[in-house]
Structure 1
Amino acid sequence: MAVSSSTPIRILIADDEPIIRLDLRELLTSLGYDVVGEAADGRTAVELARKLKPDLVILDIKMPEVDGIDAAEALHRERLAPVVLLTAYSERELVERARRAGVAGYLVKPFRESEIMPVIELALARFHEVQRLERQVVELQEALEARKLIERAKGVLMQVHGLSEAEAFQRMRRLSMDSRKSMREIAEAILLAHQLESAGRTNEPRSSLPQHD
Structure 2
Amino acid sequence: MNGRIVIVDDEPITRMDIRGMLEAENYNVVAEAADGIEAIEVCKQHHPDLVIMDISMPLLDGLKASKKILAEKYAKAIILLTAYSDKENIEKAKKYGISGYLIKPIMEKSLTPMVEVAIATGTKTREYEVSLEKLTKKLSERKLIEKAKGIIMIEQNMSEDQAYQLLRDLSMNKRCPIAEIAEMFVVSDD
TM-score range, shorter chain: 0.7 to 0.9
* 2: CA distance, partners of 1:160 / 1:46: 52
Q: Does 1:65 align with 2:65?
A: no
Bigger relative contact order, structure 1 or 2 (CA pairs below 8 A, ≥6 apart): 2
Once the two structures are superposed, residues 103-139 of structure 1 have per-residue CA deviations (whole angstroms, 9 ceiling, x without a partner) of 1112332222222222112212222233233223322
Secondary structure, in 3 states, of the residue corresponding to 1:59? strand
Q: Does 1:19 align with 2:1?
A: no
The TM-score normalised by the length of structure 1 is 0.77
Q: Does 1:129 align with 2:124?
A: yes
The TM-score normalised by the length of structure 2 is 0.85
Residue 211 of structure 1 is matched in structure 2 by none
- Alpha-carbon shift at residue 32 of structure 1 (Å): 0.7
Residue 72 of structure 2 aligns with an amino acid whose one-letter code is: E
Which moved further from structure 2: 77-86 or 9-18?
A: 9-18
> 8 Å contact 2:49–2:123 — kept in the other structure?
no
For structure 2, the residue ranges without an aligned partner over 5 or more in a row are none
Residue 151 of structure 1 is matched in structure 2 by 146
Residue 201 of structure 1 is matched in structure 2 by none
For structure 1, the residue ranges without an aligned partner over 5 or more in a row are 197-213
Residue 11 of structure 1 aligns with an amino acid whose one-letter code is: I
| C-alpha spacing 1:169/1:93, structure 2 compared with 1 (3 Å) | same
* 1: CA distance, partners of 2:87 / 2:189: 58
Q: Does 1:39 align with 2:27?
A: no
Residue 200 of structure 1 is matched in structure 2 by none
| Larger radius of gyration between Structure 1 and Structure 2 | 1
* 2: CA distance, partners of 1:172 / 1:37: 50
Which 4+ residue blocks in structure 1 deviate beyond 3 angstroms? 177-180, 189-192
**RMSD after superposition:** 2.3
> 8 Å contact 2:37–2:60 — kept in the other structure?
yes
Secondary structure, in 3 states, of the residue corresponding to 2:137? helix
- Alpha-carbon shift at residue 195 of structure 1 (Å): 4.2
